[in-house]
């Protein structure tokens, strides 16, 4: 295992998916810690699926954080994307002599190995088989998940509030943990990270809608599929040994409104 004291300071840390919800926060967290951040995205000339631009972007990088994401509930699409994208990323990292790969994953995916979560499990397996030393940080859903569902879960003008048990965490707190992990030595599976308290997902979506001025009726619904069924059963909640963040969903809502 690499001793963090043997690493240069500041480090050069590449963030895959650096323009996404948690990726942007991670780029900021890396810079706030005094390191040099490289945001990997199509906009910066890097395509994880084809591998285009990866070798040039990772030249001189000390660590890589993978926050890249895909919006799908299809197990096949998610698995294909993550195996390809993360496979290309870790292969390029090995060629570049990167000393540490950090993957952002999701709490409970081994208890709900279905749909999108099946893809995340496949992604973890790619990292675990990587020749580059690695860390995997599983986190619960972000507070920002409420905004994403408000935008996506709907039928025409009607917005739906999906039922699930969640313990959401602030994306910027997850980002701080990822930046800290990347700057240190690889730990394998890190302690799970969760928010400070359990919430009802449908209540979160409605609270977000009210915060942005939406006043329409939003019925609670039980979405089909094994993944959402598992989340309604609480299988995506953290265990007793998880590390708990500070910011509640209500505090996040007040901060972002």
Neighbours of 78 (CB within 10 A): 23
DSSP string, 82-135: HHHHHHHHHHHHHHHT--EEEEEEETTTTTS-SHHHHHHHHHHHHHHT-SS-EE
Neighbours of 64 (CB within 10 A): 29
Q: Write out pLDDT tens, residues 53-84.
A: 999 999 999 999 999 999 888 999 999 999 99
| 193-209 core/surface letters (b: 16 or more CB in 10 A; e: else) | bbbbeebebbebbbbbb
C-beta of residue 243 within 8 angstroms of C-beta of residue 138 = no
Q: Does residue 21 have a pLDDT over 80? A: yes
**Strands 188-189, 134-139: parallel, antiparallel or unpaired by DSSP?**
parallel
Query: What mean pLDDT do residues 26-42 have?
Result: 96
Q: Write out pLDDT tens, residues 106-127.
A: 999 999 999 999 999 999 999 9
Q: Write out pLDDT tens, residues 1-17.
A: 444 444 557 999 999 99
- The predicted pLDDT at position 8 comes to 57
What integer best gives the mean pLDDT of the chain? Answer: 93
Q: Model's pTM, two decimal places?
A: 0.93
- The predicted pLDDT at position 5 comes to 44
Q: Does residue 33 have a pLDDT over 60? A: yes
Instruction: State the Cα–Cα distance between residues 181 and 103, nearest whole angstrom.
Output: 10
How big is the chain, counted in residues?
257
Domain spans in the chain, listed from the N-terminal domain onward: 8-256
Query: Beta partners for 39?
Result: 15
HEC per residue, 206-251: HHHHHHCCCCCCCCEECCCCHHHHHHHCCCCCCCCCCEECCCCHHH
> Which residue, 30, 86, 91, 92, is CA-closest to 56?
92
Report domain 8-256's class.
alpha beta
Query: What mean pLDDT do residues 98-113 have?
Result: 97
Query: Beta partners for 38?
Result: 14
Instruction: State the Cα–Cα distance between residues 85 and 41, nearest whole angstrom.
Output: 12
Query: What mean pLDDT do residues 88-95 have?
Result: 98
**Strands 12-16, 158-159: parallel, antiparallel or unpaired by DSSP?**
unpaired
Q: Does residue 104 have a pLDDT over 50? A: yes
Instruction: State the Cα–Cα distance between residues 93 and 227, nearest whole angstrom.
Output: 32
Q: Which residue has the higher pLDDT, 5 or 130?
A: 130
- The predicted pLDDT at position 2 comes to 44
Weakest mean pLDDT among 4-13, 194-203, 217-226? 4-13
For residue 187, give the H/E element and its range: none
Query: Beta partners for 136?
Result: 103, 189
């Amino acid at each position: 295992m690499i001793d963090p004291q043997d690493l240069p300071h500041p480090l050069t840390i590449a963030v895959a998916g650096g323009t996404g919800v948690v990726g942007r926060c991670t780029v900021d967290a890396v810079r706030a810690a005094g390191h040099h951040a490289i945001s990997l995205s199509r906009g910066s000339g890097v395509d994880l699926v084809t591998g285009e631009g990866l070798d040039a972007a990772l030249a001189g990088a000390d660590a890589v954080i993978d926050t890249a994401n895909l919006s799908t509930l299809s197990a096949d699409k998610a698995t294909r994307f993550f195996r390809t994208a993360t496979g290309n990323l870790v292969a390029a990292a090995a060629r570049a002599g990167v000393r540490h790969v950090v993957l952002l994953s999701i709490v409970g995916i081994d208890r709900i190995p279905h749909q999108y979560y099946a893809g995340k499990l496949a992604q973890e397996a790619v990292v675990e088989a990587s020749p580059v030393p690695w860390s995997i940080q599983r986190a619960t859903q972000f507070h920002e998940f409420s905004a994403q569902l408000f935008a996506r879960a709907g039928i025409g003008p009607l917005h739906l509030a999906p039922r699930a048990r969640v313990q959401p965490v602030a994306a910027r707190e997850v980002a701080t943990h990822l930046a800290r992990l990347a700057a240190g030595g690889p730990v394998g599976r890190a302690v799970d990270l969760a928010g400070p308290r359990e919430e009802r997902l449908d209540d979160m979506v409605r609270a977000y809608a009210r915060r942005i001025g939406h006043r329409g009726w939003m019925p609670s619904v039980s979405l089909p599929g094994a993944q959402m069924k598992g989340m309604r059963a609480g299988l995506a909640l953290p265990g007793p040994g998880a590390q708990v963040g500070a910011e509640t969903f209500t505090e996040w809502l007040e901060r972002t409104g």
